[in-house]
Structure formats: structure tokens, C-alpha cells
Amino acid sequence: MLSHVPGPIDLARLQEVLDGPWAEVRDAHRDGLDARFLPVYGETGDQARERISRLLTELPVEMGIASAFPTEYGGRSDVGGSIVACEMLAQVDLSLMVKAGVQWGLFGGAVLALGTRRHHDAHLRDIVSAKTLGCFAMTETGHGSDVQQLRTTCTYDPQTQTFDLHTPHEAARKDYIGNAARDGRMAVVFAQLNTQGRGYGVHAWLVPIRDAQGNPMPGVTIGDAGPKAGLLGVDNGRLSFDHVRVPRDMLLDRYGQVAQDGTYSSPIENDSRRFFTMLGTLVRGRVSVGGAASAATKSALTIAVRYGDVRRQFDRPDSEREVLLNDYLAHQRKLLPALATTYALTFAQAELVAALNEVQGGDGPPDEHRQRELESRAAGLKAAQTWHATRTIQMCREACGGAGYLAENRLPSLKADTDVFTTFEGDNTVLLQLVAKGLLTGYRDEFGSLDGWGRASFVAEQVREMVLERTAARSLIQRLISAVPGRDEEIAVTDRGWQLKVFEDREDHLLEGAIRRLRNGAAAKKDHPFDIFNDVQDHVLTVAAAHIDRVTLEAFVAGIENTTDPAVRALLSRVCDLYALSVIEANKGWLLEHGRLTPARSKAITAVVNGLLKELRPHLRTLVDGFAIPDSWLHCAILREESGRQETMAAHDAAADPQAIPA
Amino acid sequence: MLSHVPGPIDLARLQEVLDGPWAEVRDAHRDGLDARFLPVYGETGDQARERISRLLTELPVEMGIASAFPTEYGGRSDVGGSIVACEMLAQVDLSLMVKAGVQWGLFGGAVLALGTRRHHDAHLRDIVSAKTLGCFAMTETGHGSDVQQLRTTCTYDPQTQTFDLHTPHEAARKDYIGNAARDGRMAVVFAQLNTQGRGYGVHAWLVPIRDAQGNPMPGVTIGDAGPKAGLLGVDNGRLSFDHVRVPRDMLLDRYGQVAQDGTYSSPIENDSRRFFTMLGTLVRGRVSVGGAASAATKSALTIAVRYGDVRRQFDRPDSEREVLLNDYLAHQRKLLPALATTYALTFAQAELVAALNEVQGGDGPPDEHRQRELESRAAGLKAAQTWHATRTIQMCREACGGAGYLAENRLPSLKADTDVFTTFEGDNTVLLQLVAKGLLTGYRDEFGSLDGWGRASFVAEQVREMVLERTAARSLIQRLISAVPGRDEEIAVTDRGWQLKVFEDREDHLLEGAIRRLRNGAAAKKDHPFDIFNDVQDHVLTVAAAHIDRVTLEAFVAGIENTTDPAVRALLSRVCDLYALSVIEANKGWLLEHGRLTPARSKAITAVVNGLLKELRPHLRTLVDGFAIPDSWLHCAILREESGRQETMAAHDAAADPQAIPA
């Protein structure tokens, strides 16, 4: 063990580091979201929808949720602030966060990103003020992951100068569409654009779906996706169009225009490239969902850690009182590595939001390289954060035993509401593949096209190199890695340079292996092109996971580097050790197979991890308090009640007639 | 690869093997549970409770759910049949299964096991017929895992010849009690028995909690545990007793009697031993929950596999149609190992049910050795099956994408309803500790008492040896292991003997290591007795997990040995390979650390697993069809609709004007 964490920690300093540059947005929400916005347990679906719908219009947008819009339409041109606002809403009520994300992120964001001045002037102000509620109608029953293959058509008719929007069959029906079943007046509808007898790929139109009385517009059929696992307050619905006439100027035409006579033009010639450029502008959704997932994870961890700090079970041989749950090694083994990973992802998310703000916050079009890098990073961190949320909230539920199953203790809704995050805004497995593809693109001449494998093949450069350039503390990281002596055995497993090197080596080696296997496959399986990629799919997904691990660790290291308070820095450094060594421990099979770890060193890591748990145990509560979630937001009965129950019981036990106490 | 699976498989033969000896109980449920019993999606809590309450009384008990009771009270003295009935109910509606489990398993089972003739004659007939609905009031707010420390008191007063049942404070309130909030008329209440100024530990009383009009009895306060994550149809409640007078003869006195004058007597002198003997009679609950968890897992896997067999996404370079989800390696990597584990656990559960039936099915008291072994096995398999259910149903939900999040597709309720299984009827972590303790008991003289560490220390013998004796195909297994040559490299990783040896070696080595560490700890940490055990808790839990893995693999091997149909046998053998190698792959870090695998062999296993996936892909559908879950029971919209949608879309695509298809 290198050094112990000095105590006590100044909580305000820790919070400052975790809150990051948009601290004022966080504080505005902490102050501004009162009891009215807290979740209600045990509602019916209708009650939840009614309540969330009302809260959406009552939400003070000036706190940040609409801040990505230009000032002239009621925003603040602050993209980062809008993401942070989503994270804060996610700690209050995930239905409200998703409903808000649909309205201002997806729907409003699409009008802003894909529309042009006339759409903005006509609609953005009412969208920002929530006067016009809308939907983002992309996903179809038959196509969710592969949205390039949507089957809804929108065909231009020069005679009437309108488009004919049509759902040819049930698989082409828009499905799972938030805001559709109850509230949406308009929808950004994605469909295949046809004009002059030719298709130009997927474009988007702004289409009214309900009239002022809330009745479906002619030709529009609105269905209800019905009860869901969670997010009861979000009215997901289904939209079908029966030859609906859409005026020509309702095409959101930033990336593709249709003239009166039906002539198509676009600044981007290739249909596929154009489509993915359009999609790319919507990267904010993924960044929001990843951030929201981590925010919910923090709520769950706060509940489980605080409960485990007062809940006791089983006699302790050296004490009158029973043992606190948090004093059990097995409990620490559940909570602390998950908490360390949450810290790591917090820094990675902060770096991502800063990059998003920089790339998309400017006036001009974003730099294409940086935009691609951003998309890859957003995809990877969305997958990492949402899977981490699913696992961790589940673990926290179990760590609270039967109490964790009761709605009044919040964990059931945290679990149910976030569950869909792993598959919406991009299925995680598909997203990992996208990340891997970015990493492999630089090599694709060696094994042929990456087509037919989800996602664009036009990503120009090897993303990894760009990411390496970007990492905030790249020079520090390089220095730490360079300082590692040649023989691993000579250096402690808590050496940051060694940890960084292991993460980097793992990614590099996995990537090289994937390239080699793809190259061999391309030669051997010419007649079975599908098999070339499919046979190495598991390997390729591992490359992506290793990449995300490295990016996350480097962000954590950069975050520590920027921390000035010595005690907080020391604490974060131990948490970072725990994160790095937990990942190494989880992957020790691979590392041993490839000679990256000796058996002795591998065993030593388990002991060091257990030592870190012991060292961090006194700081468990501090680590969750650093998230600064207002007490009332946790909205959890056991946190209010358990401590008092334990004290009453202890007093009773002490006062009881010793004769009456069972043997 | 040793051999390929011959096709086609005769489904009836496969079903026969999986259905096992209580096939007629399974068939009776498949035939007898009509649409009326299927879950209703989107109900309110009240609606669900009302419906399940009604169905409980309409459930034809003659199908098997009450068959554990003696014939004279309406049962069939068939313990195994009642467990299998639970498994079948779990595939129809988990609320109904849990409600039935409370009524006939926990409540009725406690009256049967802990009561004597006069309780049986007075109550069992009405319990079997569901005329008397009841609760099992053991868990308290403050004590769920450590029920030996319950705080409810029941003090005998010889003057009135009644007991005084009392809840001294809120932590002593009975909590999470099924059937309490709405329906229960009586409860088996567990409390500390005090008489003549002394405590004798936890005993159980049969206590009326509601009168004929459904109002709480005097002194009884009934609360509602409120909305939960799932199991909406089960009315979990809270019971408090304010000096409630309980007649002397309502003590369930099989294991402890109080004479009129208050003199206590019992066939078992030691209070702790007596209590765990009482608990041991209730082992059926854990066996039922484990079986129900696997049954629900089978429903989820059937849905995900069948969906993945019709659902397509992304173009396939060598075909007009898009790729079936089940053709992706990543999808197979999710579904097939989980399916193989489900098969393995099916055989392990079948062996456990047979053992339960044998040990508890006789007239006399069960053999103590065998009873202890049964408890250990039940605890371990309950933990293994419920964690497997939680992970697998989650995976199936994600494998169905957004559709998996809609209630109409069943997966949300399967997930939410089974979620509590990992922590009720014994928290899984506590259960693993119990298993480990059994394994360590033979050695405890070397490191002192196992007290203060959950669960009894009286378990007499090393459970492992008993389990080894019991395993159905022990001699076959010994033969297979003996045939393994000394040098591992000479034998294929699909050699069953080698696989068995790896599992056995891992358990032995982990156990020896735990003993060594405990012994050293006992010497070094005399002043910190809690630390002696706590510092190795993670290691000890791993011992238990390795033990359960071995027991499970051996049950699978025995099951194959008993299979006569050659094609089914060959198929099961490949599934068993996949199970064994998946476990080995998951633990390769440990195996490499300890020289049980060479790096080359470890890498080879990954390749062999991928080969098995390819080989089993054509049998995916067969493997879930073998579970023989009636189509209507799956109650899943996408299974009814997706295939038709895909065909309609394909027809549309084929008929479409090629000009109009986007580039």
C-alpha cells in the first residue's frame, strides 16, 4: 500500500471536483426541484402520465434543460448545460428526465439540427417553452438498430408540391415513440425520401400528428405501446401514416433539399454518408442517456451505502451490537468496486460533455474528425454507463434485501426505469460494434469493407489515435507509462503508470489480434462474407470494451491531475486504484493467457483489492455524499427509518431483563 | 470436436428427460391451467391482488400444489409433486405461484411440520382446500437473515394458561409477510418463547389475525408493505402484536412443549440446535423458489430464442434477407451458455427434488445426515438458480430490444416478479455462506468455532463427503475422472472426465486454501475474532460457488447417463460441454493462476466454445421447445406477431419498384 488516505475529507471540495464545470446547473436543480417533482410510488400508468405531463410544462426550463437552444429561441447556446440538466432530472424522476429528453433533446434537437432557419423561427420558441410538445419518430417496429433501413416512405409529388408520407405495412409502423400516445402535437418523422423516381435515403419531416383538440390528424393512426417495465410516466406510442400529405417546406432540409419540381440536392453526395451525418448531429441523446444512467446509479449507491451503514445483521463476537452490513467484506466487495467504477465513469462522462460542448457548441459545422471521435466516445460510454447502471442498481437492490424490493425504498423504480437504457438510443451491443468499427477502420484495406455490419464505413481515420490526442492529460499519461520499468515484477500494482500500461497493452493487443483474424478470415472465407466478421464478433466486441476501459481510466487520471485539494486527491487516487485493479482482476484470465500478468502477481492483486476495501471502508459514506444528492430526492423510506429502529432496538435490548433474553 | 449431434431430435424424448419423474404433474398443469390463469398486464396493485386471490381459491389443488399433505387431509403425501407443481405455476403467473407457495408451502407446511396431531386435525383440511388462508410470519423488519435473533416475544402465563405475544418495538414487527395485507385469516408466528423466567429460543404459534369479517383481531395491527417491484398479486403486509393472548395449545409444539404450569420440555435440548431443526423442516420453500426461478428462466429463454429465430436486423452480404438475430455470434454467446446452464440446473434441481422426496417423504423423522446434506444442497441451488434467473431474464429482455421492455411481451413481469427470489427464502450471499460453512465444518477444530457467522455450527460432518456419496452417478464420475491421463495437454477439453476433474480440483483447492487461511487467521487475529472470518469471506463464498458448480455438473452427467435415446443423449452431451466449458472459461483466471490451465489450453477453450455455439445453433429452437411450455402460457405479443410482420415486409420489399428502393 503506497499511502493512506488522510482524513477528514472536506466534502465541499470533493463535491466541487465531481460537480465539474456545470456546477451552477447542478445547484440550480438541487435548489429548484422541490417535493412536487419527486416520484410517486404505486401510481397507475394513467396517473403517472398525467403527472409527468403536467410537470413537464411546469419544469423551470431556465435551470438548464433547454439551454442547448440558441438564446434567441429561449435557450443559452449551452449544450453541456443541457446534458448536465438531464443528469439532474434523472436523480429526481427518470420518467420526467426521459419525457424532457424527448421534448427538448430528441424532438427539439432534431428540429434545430436538421431544420433550417424557417423551421427554427416557426417552431423553436414554442418547443423551448413546451407549448408545442413533440415526438422523435425514427424507430419502427421492424427497424430499431438498423435505422438506415426504415420502411416508411415519403414520396414527393411535384403536382401538389407535397410529400406523401406512408406506412406500407406493420413492420414500418413507428414504435416506442415517446410523447406519441398522449401528448405530442407534432413529430419529426424519419422516412425514405423518394422523388423523381429515385430514393435518396432517410430524411426527416416535421409532421403535425394531432390537432388543437388532441385528435389524430387525418391519415394518422396513433396507438399506445401499452404498459412497460418502467418509465410509466412516458407515453410511448405507435404512429402509422396512410398517405398523409406533408407540405414541401416541412422537410427538415439542412442536409437535403427538394425543389418545387422535385429535384433533389444536398451538400453531401453519398446517401449513406449524408444519413450518418444527420444521425451524428443527434449524438446528444446518447450522451444524455449515459449521464442519466450514471446519475441513477449514484442514487442507488447512495441508498445502499447509507442503508448498509446503519443496518445490522448477525452477532459480532467482539461487540454487543450486531455487525453493520458495510463491515462485511462480501458487502464491501459488492459496493466499493461499483462505486469506484461510478467515479471513473463520472470523469469520463465529464470529459465527454466538455468535448461535446466544444465540438457542437460553436457556430459553424463541427470538425468532422472530432465529430466522429465524439460519436465513438458517446457510443462507448453510453454502453458502459448503462450496463454499469443495470448491474449496479440490481446489486444495490439485492444489498438492501427485502427492503430493496419495496417501491417506497426507490430502488425498484430506479431499476425498472433505467432498464431500457441498455437498448434504447442505440442497442449497447450494436454501439460496441460501432466503437470497434471505428478502431478497425484504419486497417480495413487489409480485410475489405466493413459494410453489412451495422453503421457507416466512412469513418475516415483510426479513432484511437484521435482519442489519444484528445485525452486531457495525455502527456502526463505518457510520462507515467514511460516510467514503468521493463520488468513488471519490480513495480507495485498500485503504480499508476503500470495500470495505464496494462489497459493500453490490452487494447492494442486485442485490436491487433482482431485485425489478424479478420485478414485471415477475408482470405479463407471469400464465399461466406457474413462469416468473416461474424466469426470474430465476440473478439471485436472485446476490443471495444477494452478501448472504453482505457478511455475511462485515462479520464479518471486526468480528473485526479486537475484536483488541487490534497486530501481529496489522495482519496480519489485510492478509488482510482480500486477501479483499475477491479478491471484488471475481472480480466485476469486474458492477462494471464497473454503473459501480461504472472500467476503470483495476479494473486497479489486480489489481496491488494481487499486491502483497498479495508482502507476505503471508513470513507464509504463520504464517497456517496460527494455526489451531493439532496436527501429529499432519495425519497427512500428505509433511510428515514432504519437508523431510528436500530437505536430503539439497542435501547430495548439493553434494558431487557437478562433472564428473558433467549440463550 | 468429438462428434456432431445427429438430427433430427425427437422432441417427445427430449421433453421426457427434462420433465423427469413427475411428468404427470407437469402435464396436469399444462392441460388444466387455461387462459383464466394467465397474467394480466398493466393491472393496478388492487386489481392484481383481487384476481390472484380469486385464482388461488379456484386453483385445482388436485393437480399437485397441495400434494405434500397427507392423504387424510386432502393431499397425496407426495412432496416432490408439490415442488414440481410450484415450478409449473411459476410458468403461468409468478404471483399465483408465490401466493400458493405461502398458503400451502410456508403456512400449511409449517403447521404440518411444526404442529402435532391436534393442529393437523383441526386445521390442515381447511388449509389444503384454501378455506383457511394463512401467513408465515417469521421475518421481522430488523431480522430477515438472522431469524434466530427475532425480537417478537411470546411469554407464557401459567395463571391464564395463555401466551402473551408481543411486538416490543418497530424493528420487531413482522414484515414482507405474504397473505397478510389482504387475505390471511391465520398466521404461523415465530417469536422468542419465554416461560418460567427463561427464554428457549424461537418457536412458532398458530395465531388468528383476522375475524370472519376480515377485520384484524384485537391487539393485532395489520399494515401493508405497499407497492413492490413485482409480484403485484401478492399482498405482502406487516403484523404487530400488542400483548395478544394466545391459548397454550396454539403453540406448534412438535419440537418444544410448555406444560400447564409453564414447564418447558423438548426432544432437543440445545436451543440453537432445536431452532435449526425446526427451520430445516421448511427446506421445501427454498427448493420451490429455486425451481420456480429456473421455470421462469425457461419462459424467458423460450421467448428470446423464438424471437431471435424470426427477428432480423442488418443486411446480410450473401442474402436478400436481413440477418436473423440468432445467427449473430454475439447473440449466440448470450443465449446459448445461459441455456446450457439452465439445462444443467434442471438436472441438479431434479436430483434435489428426488432427494427431498426421499428424505422428507417417509413417515418417520428424516435421517439427520441426509437432512443436513439436503439443506446445504437446497441452499446452494436456490442461490445458483435465482441468480441465474436474474441474470438470464435480464439478458433475454435486452436480447429482445425495445420489445423486451413492453409488458405485452412478458419479459418485464418475469424480471420484476423473480427479482426478489435472490433475497427471499434466504439471502443468496447468506445461503452461500451456509453452504461454505457446511464444507468447512469438518475442519473447524483447526480454526475454532464458526459461531457469529450466520447459521448453526452444529452441522456434524463435512457435507462434501456426504454429497459425494449421494451423487446419482458417482461411480461413473469416478471412472471418468480416473481415466484422465496425468498430462492435461494430452486430452481434449471436451473430455468429460477432464471437465469433472477441473471442477473437483477447483473446489478442493479452494477449500484447502480457505482452511489454511482460517487457521493462520485464528492464530494471528485472536484479539479480532470478527476479522478471522471476515477477512476471508470472499474466498469462502467462492468455495461455495465452486461446490455448487461441481454438484451441478455431476447432476448433468448423471442425467445424460440416464438418457436412453441416442440423439437426445448426443445433444445433451454437447450442451453439457458448453455448460462445463462456459464455467471453466468464466473461471479461467483462477485456473491459470493455479496452474490448472496452460495459457494455450485456456485460449483453445474460447475457440471450442465458439465451435459449440455453431454446432448448437441449428438446435436452438429444439432446446427451448424441450421445455414444453404451452404456447399460450408464454403470453407474448412478439411471438404471435413478429413472424408475420417479417414475411409481409419481405413480400413488400420483393414487390417494390426497384427504382424506389433507396440506395
> Over the stretch A213-244, which tens digit does the pLDDT of each residue have?
999 999 999 999 999 999 999 999 999 999 99
Q: How much is the pLDDT for A1?
A: 41
Of B44, B398, B646, the CB nearest to A423: B398
Q: CB–CB of B415/B395 below 8 Å?
A: no
Mean pLDDT confidence for A94-113: 97
Burial class (CB in 10 A: 0-12, 13-18, 19+), B261: exposed
Q: Say whether B663 and A200 touch across the interface (CB within 8 A).
A: yes
The rounded distance, in Å, linking the Cα atoms of A188 and A204 is 6
Final residue of a structural domain among A270, A298, A327: A270
- Chain B residues near residue A333 by CB distance under 8 angstroms: 538
The secondary structure of residue B460, as a DSSP letter, is -
pLDDT score for B190: 98
Domain of A232 in residue numbering reads as 134-270
Could you give the CA distance from residue A95 to residue A256 in angstroms, rounded to a whole number?
Answer: 34
Give a yes or no: residue B40 inside a domain.
no
Tell me the per-residue pLDDT of A486-510, one tens digit each, with 9 for 90 and over: 777 779 999 999 999 999 999 999 9
Strand B198-208 versus strand B220-224 pairing type = unpaired
Helix (H) or strand (E) holding A448: none
Comparing A399 with B443, which gets the higher pLDDT? A399
Contact with chain A for residue B11, Cβ under 8 A: no
Point out the domain boundary residue: A226, A255, A270: A270
Percentages helix, strand, coil for chain B (3-state, rounded to 5) are 60, 10, 30
At B81-127, the pLDDT tens digits run 999 999 999 999 999 999 999 999 999 999 999 999 999 999 999 99
Please tell me what DSSP assigns to residue B229. Answer: S
User: Is pLDDT of B446 > 80?
Assistant: no
Residue with cell 455450527: B457
Strands A174-177 and A186-195: unpaired
Paired sense of beta strands A220-224 and A322-324, if any:
unpaired
CATH code (residue B493): 1.20.140.10
In this predicted structure, the answer to whether residue B380 has a pLDDT above a threshold of 90 is yes
Q: Whose grid coordinates read 437492490?
A: A397
Q: What pLDDT does residue A467 have? A: 45
Mark yes or no for CB contact A529/B318 under 8 Å: yes
The CA distances from residue B167 to A150, A649, B238, B245, in Å, are: 63, 11, 12, 13
Q: Would you say residue A257 has pLDDT above 80?
A: yes
Model confidence at B465, in pLDDT bands (50, 70, 90)?
very low
Which residues of chain A have a CB within 8 Å of the CB of B406? Answer: 176, 225-229
- HSE of A332, CA atoms in CB hemisphere, 13 A: 24
Question: Is A363 inside a domain boundary?
Answer: no
Please identify every residue of B annotated as catalytic. 425
- Residue range B611-621: mean pLDDT, rounded: 97
Looking up cell 432504519 gives A642
Q: Per the CB < 8 Å rule, is B144 touching A316?
A: no
Pairwise CA distance, residues B463 & B169, whole Å:
39
Residue of A nearest to B413 (CA): A229
In a domain, B528, yes or no: yes
Cα–Cα distance between A147 and A195 in angstroms, integer? 20
Query: Across residues B180-201, what is the average pLDDT?
Result: 97
- The C-alpha of A49 sits at a distance from chain B's nearest C-alpha, in angstroms, of 14
Partner-chain contact A169 B652, CB within 8 Å: yes
Please determine, for residue A472, whether its predicted confidence score (pLDDT) is greater than 80.
no
Summarize pLDDT for B532-565 with one digit per residue, the tens: 889 999 999 999 999 999 999 999 999 999 999 9
Q: In angstroms, what separates the C-alpha of B588 from chain A's closest C-alpha?
A: 5
In a domain, A204, yes or no: yes
Identify whether A70 is part of a domain.
no
The strand pairing partners of B137, in sequence order, are B189
Single-letter code of the amino acid located at A54: R
The Cα B517–Cα B532 span in angstroms is 9
Domain for residue B507, yes or no?
Answer: yes
Q: Which of B143, B193, B198, B405 to mutate to test the interface with A (most CBs of A within 10 A)?
A: B405
What whole-number percentage of chain B has pLDDT above 70?
Answer: 94
Q: Report the gap between the CA of A51 and the closest CA in chain B (Å).
A: 17
- Are A182 and A249 in contact, with CB atoms under 8 Å apart? no
Give the number of other CB atoms < 10 A from CB of residue B371: 18
B234-247 burial code (b ≥16 CB/10 A, e <16): bbbbbbbbeebebe
Kindly state the helix (H) or strand (E) to which residue A64 belongs, with its residue range: none
Distance (Å) from the C-alpha of residue A548 to the closest C-alpha of chain B?
18
Q: Which of B:398-427 have CB within 8 Å of A?
A: 398, 401-402, 404-408, 411-412, 415-416, 419-420, 422-424, 427
What digits encode the pLDDT tens for the residues A414-459? 999 999 999 999 999 999 999 998 888 766 555 555 544 433 332 3
Separation of alpha carbons B158 and B660, rounded Å: 93
| Mean pLDDT of the region B139-152 | 94
Chain B, 218 to 237: residues with Cβ < 8 Å from chain A are: 225-230
The answer to whether A611 faces chain B, any CB pair under 8 Å, is no
Q: What is the pLDDT of residue A528?
A: 87
Query: B327 — contact with chain A (CB < 8 Å)?
Result: yes
- The pLDDT of B476-491, averaged and rounded, is 83
Between B284 and B2, the higher pLDDT residue: B284
CATH number at residue B176: 2.40.110.10
By CA distance, what is A42's nearest residue in B?
B227
Tell me which residue of A420, A407, A182 sits closest to B45, measured CA to CA.
A407
Q: Which long-range contacts (CB under 8 A, 24 or more apart) does A112-115 make?
A: A112/A68, A112/A69, A112/A70, A113/A254, A113/A278, A113/A281, A113/A282, A114/A188, A114/A204, A114/A252, A114/A254, A114/A255, A114/A278, A114/A281, A115/A206, A115/A252, A115/A253, A115/A254
Band (pLDDT 50/70/90 cuts) for residue B464 is: very low
Verify whether the Cβ–Cβ distance A171 to B648 is below 8 Å.
yes
- Cα–Cα dist A231/A385, whole Å: 18
Cell numbers of A93, please? 424522476
Kindly tell me the burial class for residue A489, based on how many C-beta atoms sit within 10 Å of its own C-beta (0-12, 13-18, 19 or more): exposed
For A258-300, how does the pLDDT look when each residue is reduced to its tens digit (9 = 90+)?
999 999 999 999 998 899 889 887 799 999 999 999 999 999 9
- Distance, in angstroms, between B428 CA and closest chain A CA? 9
Q: Are A557 and A475 in contact (CB under 8 A)?
A: no
Q: How far is A5 from chain B (nearest CA, A)?
A: 21
Helix (H), strand (E) at residue A430:
helix A428-440
Q: How confident is the model at residue B662 (pLDDT cuts 50, 70, 90)?
A: very low
pLDDT of residue B659: 46
Residue B658 touches partner A, C-beta closer than 8 Å: no
In degrees to the nearest 10, what's the CA dihedral of A99, A102, A108, A110? 180
Domain boundary among B242, B268, B294: B268
DSSP at B597: S
In the stretch 356-395 of chain A, residues with CB closer than 8 A to chain B read 390, 394
Task: Return contacts of B612-615, CB within 8 angstroms, 24+ apart.
Answer: B612/B336, B612/B574, B612/B577, B612/B578, B612/B581, B613/B329, B613/B332, B613/B333, B613/B336, B613/B578, B614/B332, B615/B1, B615/B4, B615/B5, B615/B574
pLDDT-derived band of residue B444, with 50, 70 and 90 as boundaries? low
Sequence-ordered list of residues with C-beta below 8 angstroms from that of A551, at least 6 positions apart, any chain: A348, A377, A380, A381, A467, A471
* Three-class secondary structure of residue B187 per DSSP: strand
Subunit contact B537:A329, Cβ cutoff 8 A: yes
Please tell me if residue A117 touches chain B, with a CB cutoff of 8 Å: no
Q: Does B660 touch chain A if contact means CB atoms closer than 8 Å?
A: yes
Cβ A538–B330 below 8 Å, yes or no?
yes
pLDDT, residue B541, reads: 97
Longest dimension (CA), chain A: 98
* pLDDT value of residue B487: 73
Is B534 touching A (CB cutoff 8 A)?
Answer: yes
| Closest by Cβ to B405, choosing from A229, A429, A453 | A229
Question: Phi then psi for B351, rounded to 5 degrees?
Answer: -65, -40
Position A6 scores a pLDDT of: 72
Q: Quick one: pLDDT at residue A444?
A: 57
Q: With contacts defined as CB-CB under 8 Å, which chain B residues touch A303?
A: none
Asked if B227 lies within 8 A of A528 by C-beta distance, the reply is no
Give the residue with greater pLDDT, B636 vs A470.
B636
Q: Cβ contacts (< 8 Å) between A153 and chain B: which residues? A: 660
Contacts of A602 in chain B (CB under 8 A): 589, 592-593
Q: Which of B199, B227, B538 sits opposite A660 (nearest CB)?
A: B199
> If you average pLDDT over every residue of chain B, what do you get?
92
Residue B176: list chain A partners with CB under 8 A.
402, 405
Residues 194-213 of chain A with CB under 8 A from chain B are 194, 197-202
* Interface mutation target, options A163, A272, A398, A588, chain B, most CBs of B under 10 Å: A398
How far apart CA B85 and CA B138 sit, in angstroms, is 24
Cα(B373)–Cα(B87) distance, integer angstroms = 22
Chain A residues in contact with B428 by the CB 8 A cut-off are 398
Write out pLDDT tens, residues A514-536. Answer: 999 998 888 888 888 899 889 99
pLDDT at residue A334 tops 80: yes
More confident residue, B446 or A234: A234
Digit-coded pLDDT (tens) for B201-214: 999 999 999 999 99
Check residue B524 and give its pLDDT. Answer: 87
Tens digit of pLDDT for each residue in B313-357? 998 887 888 999 999 999 999 999 999 999 999 999 999 999 999
**What's the pLDDT at B197?**
96
CA atoms within 13 A of residue A311's CA, in its CB half-sphere: 27
In a domain, B661, yes or no: no
Dihedral pair phi/psi, residue A443, rounded to 5°: -105, 5
The CA distances from residue B543 to A139, B374, B597, B636, in Å, are: 47, 18, 19, 40
Task: For A243-272, give one letter per residue: b (16+ CB within 10 A) or e.
Answer: ebebebbbbbbbbbebeeebebebeeeebb
Is A408's CB within 8 Å of B592's CB? no
pLDDT at B362: 74
> In chain A, what residues touch B390 (CB-CB under 8 Å)?
394
Query: Is residue A503 in some structural domain?
Result: yes
- For β-strands B198-208 and B186-195, DSSP reports them as antiparallel
Tell whether A599 is within 8 A of chain B (Cβ): yes
| Secondary structure tally for chain B: helices H, strands E | 25, 13
Tally of domains in chain B: 2
- Contact status of A598 with chain B (Cβ, < 8 Å): no
Mutate to test the interface with B, among A264, A331, A406 (most CBs of B within 10 A): A406
A543 CA to centre of own chain: 19
Does the distance separating the beta carbons of A401 and B145 come in below 8 Å? yes
| A528/B318 touch (CB, cutoff 8 Å), yes or no | yes
Contact assignment for B660 to A317 by CB distance below 8 Å? no
Residues of B in contact with A322 (CB under 8 A): 146, 149
